Amino acid sequence: MLNRRSFMAAAGTSLGLTALGLPVQSLADAGLKLGKPEGFSFDSLIEQAKELARKPYHQENKLPKDVLERIDYDQHGKIIFNTDNALFKDGPGEFPVTFFHLGRYFQIPVHTHVLEKSGDEWAAKEIVYDPDYFSMPKDSPARELPKGAGFAGFRFQESRFGDQKKLDWHKNDWVAFLGASYFRAIGELYQYGLSARGIAMDVAMPNAAEEFPTFTHFYFEPPSAFANDHQVTVYALLEGPGITGAFKFIMQRTNKVLMDIDSHVFLRRDVGRLGFAPLTSMYWFSESVKQTAIDWRPEVHDSDGLALWTGNGEHIWRPLVNPPHTSASAFSDKAPRGFGLLQRDRNFDHYLDGVNYERRPSLWVEPVGDWGEGAVQLIEIPTDDEIHDNVVAFWVPSAPAQKGNAYHFQYKLHWSADEPYPTTLGRCVATRLGRGGQPGQPRPQGVRKFMVEFSGGPLKDIPFGVKPEVVLWSSSGHFSYVFAEAVPDGVPGHWRAQFDFTSDSPQPVDMRLYLKNGDQTLTETWLYQYHPF
Predicted pLDDT at 444: 86
DSSP 8-state assignment for residue 59: P
**How far is the C-alpha of 340 from the C-alpha of 442, rounded, in Å?**
41
User: Could you tell me the sign of the dihedral formed by the alpha carbons of 260, 212, 285, 469, in that order?
Assistant: positive
Predicted pLDDT at 16: 32
Q: Residue 228 maps to which CATH number?
A: 2.70.98.10
Long-range Cβ contact pairs of 344-353 (< 8 A, separation 24 or more): 344/304, 344/305, 344/418, 344/427, 344/429, 345/286, 345/299, 345/304, 346/417, 349/298, 350/287, 350/298, 350/299, 351/297, 351/298, 351/299, 351/300, 352/296, 352/297, 352/298, 353/297, 353/300
Inside any domain, residue 18: yes
For the beta carbon of residue 383, count every other beta carbon within 10 angstroms. Answer: 19
Given 416, 447, 479, the domain boundary residue is 416
Q: Are residues 406 and 486 in the same domain?
A: no
What's the whole-model pTM score?
0.93
List the pLDDT tens digit at each of the 533 positions of the chain. 445 444 322 222 233 333 333 333 455 546 899 999 999 999 999 999 999 999 999 988 789 999 999 999 999 999 999 999 999 999 999 999 999 999 999 999 999 999 998 788 999 999 999 999 999 999 999 999 998 899 999 999 999 987 656 789 999 999 999 999 999 999 899 999 999 999 999 999 998 999 999 999 999 999 886 667 899 999 999 999 999 999 999 999 999 999 999 999 999 999 999 999 999 999 999 988 777 788 999 999 999 999 999 999 999 999 999 999 999 999 999 999 999 999 999 999 999 999 999 999 999 999 999 999 999 999 999 999 999 999 999 999 999 999 999 999 999 999 999 999 999 999 999 999 999 988 888 888 889 999 999 999 999 999 988 999 999 999 999 999 999 999 999 999 999 999 999 998 889 999 999 999 999 999 999 999 999 87
The torsion of the CA quartet 66, 69, 75, 78, rounded to 10 degrees, works out to 90
Q: Are residues 490 and 402 in the same domain?
A: no
Q: Residue 451 maps to which CATH number?
A: 2.60.40.10
Inside any domain, residue 509: yes
Q: Are residues 154 and 247 in the same domain?
A: yes
Is residue 378 a contact partner of residue 341, using CB atoms and an 8 Å limit?
no
Q: Are residues 409 and 460 in the same domain?
A: no
Q: Are residues 138 and 115 in the same domain?
A: yes
